[in-house]
Chains A and B, each alone.
Chain A
Amino acid sequence: MIARSFKTAVRCRTLFLMLLPAFVLVIVFSYIPMAGIAMAFQQFRYGHGFFGSPWVGLANFRFFFSSGMAWRVTRNTFLYNIAFLILNTTVQITVAIMISEIGSKWFKRVTQTCLLLPHFISWVVVSSMAYGLFNFENGLINNTLAVFGGNPIDVYGNPRAWIFILPLVNLWKAVGFGSIIYMAAIAGLDAELKDSAEVDGANIFQRIWHITLPGIIPTILILTLLAIGQIFRGNFQLFFQMVGDNGLLLPTTDIIDTYVFRSLRFTPELGMPAAAGLYQSAMSFVTIMLTNYLVRCVDKDYALF
């Protein structure tokens, strides 16, 4: 048995070597830090260290659930992520299909580059750009409105506006990068299928609907499942840079990550943020297991595991 394993290992040595960096990375950055979960149940003290700090049971979890905000921020996190998921996936697929159907190489490249650019702008810069657009006195929007005699709008004082602004900004930043993967999937489809469909008289929409889309369903499902695994983890950068500590907007924009940061950035206790992180992980774990189970029920081949 062992001899056979060795033989396999030797035969696939190149593959194993290629796997090695990823394997090391996962061990070092994902598995070893997992032991830090223990901190969620400790009152951590440098002097006593990781093994000597006193255990405090569930005390570190109390702050989150006793705040009366747990429901609100969990709901916000979940709903925003659902909105991001649906909006991003739909637009990314549409864009990927459109770009791959375009004949002109030059046009294709320019469009793709323009779409990809926002991905490389940091959230800090995006937030200043947003401030330049939305600020009440000197913002581009209000200045434009003033030229046409309109009344200025107070975006930073209107929590409802951000329910739309945040998904749109997120989409603007994510669409170019996200569509690359779908484009790759489309490029991997058998071109002959499309050609023969064309010869048989299928128009472009029929070709997309019957050939391209079914062909990339596995990719869509895998990416969606991966995104669902992150559904209780908010995009801290997006929310914190765009909204900051603006109390007027928090009812609709406070997510678990920003809430925890705002509560604990001055606290000396390391256990409390660890507890909040564990809560998110546990919620995400349950969601991903459940979704994967449901996908398995429909079609085994589409499930992650």
Chain B
Amino acid sequence: MYKNFLRYLISAFFLLGLGTSANAEFKVGFVYVGPTGDHGWTYQHHEGRNAVEAAGIKTTFVESVPEGADAERVIRQLAQSGHDLIFTTSFGYMDPTNKVAKDFPNVKFEHATGYKREHSNVSTYSARFYEGRTLLGHIAGKMTKTNTIGYIASFPIPEVIRGINAMTLAAQKVNPNIKTKIVWVFTWYDPGKEAEAAQALIDQGADIIMQHTDSTAPVQTAEKAGVWSFGQASDMQRFAPKSILTSIIDDWAPYYVERAIAARDGTWGQQDTWHGLKEGMVAMAPYNSAMGSDLVKEVEQLQKDLASGKTHSFTGPIYDQKGNMLVAEGKVADDGMLAGMSVYVKGVEGDIPK
């Protein structure tokens, strides 16, 4: 009996030894707000993770982590279990990420779409989705017959408001009669509710459905009702082949690989990244031929101009709903203003929920 006990003890020591040596290996952790199978936001982050893995770096991920107390626990756990770099991929992880970063100065943190970098080991990164929204607005303004664009919004944060504004400004430019109707669903991900919101907007006369939520339900509802729609975060074309005009695609892979390698090689430094069409972090899915070749050409040109910086999504004069000037004629909005955007531009109906 004692012999066996000794044997267990020895093997336990060996296992422990193996365990610590495994911990020394460079590891990257990912925290997702939705399931990897949402075919939207989280799916694209997961694709980015796959690219990191393909580059020969070990990764771990935790999916469907609610934004709240759970988030901090999960991030802390990843930090404790020997991860060297942790990507937290939703706006609501902002405070938890900074809190954990304080306690783990040797672990590096990358928070998506946030603006708080309270410690030197926290970087932030986001994509200029609004550039894609500008293209959608241009297309929507040209394609709508009812002059009503339906917009399913998630939470009243700058990123979402920026998208609504960019889209509306671009649509107004090509069609001054445009109206943007907005429904706030207060969720990133609830297919049933998103479908209901899309249906409500369609019933209210919208013939273009746009979403800032993560599931494919809105485009499917649009397909069923025979109105146009745009995919969000990834190419949703196969869910609504007739209805989808194009999708905004978030491509995180190059950034994730670059940062992971930098962290492994010790060249990682704190930064605030905001990439767009130019760097390819925002990309457009193929345009639907139903748009007509003229419009496709127009939009492709606009896409090039946005990428090269010749055109900016927020070029003055821009007024808010009350008529106050936000951006003067001939000027463009600076990044600070874009990052904190919390008012609607003229032409958007309704109030922003407070």
A and B part of one assembly: no
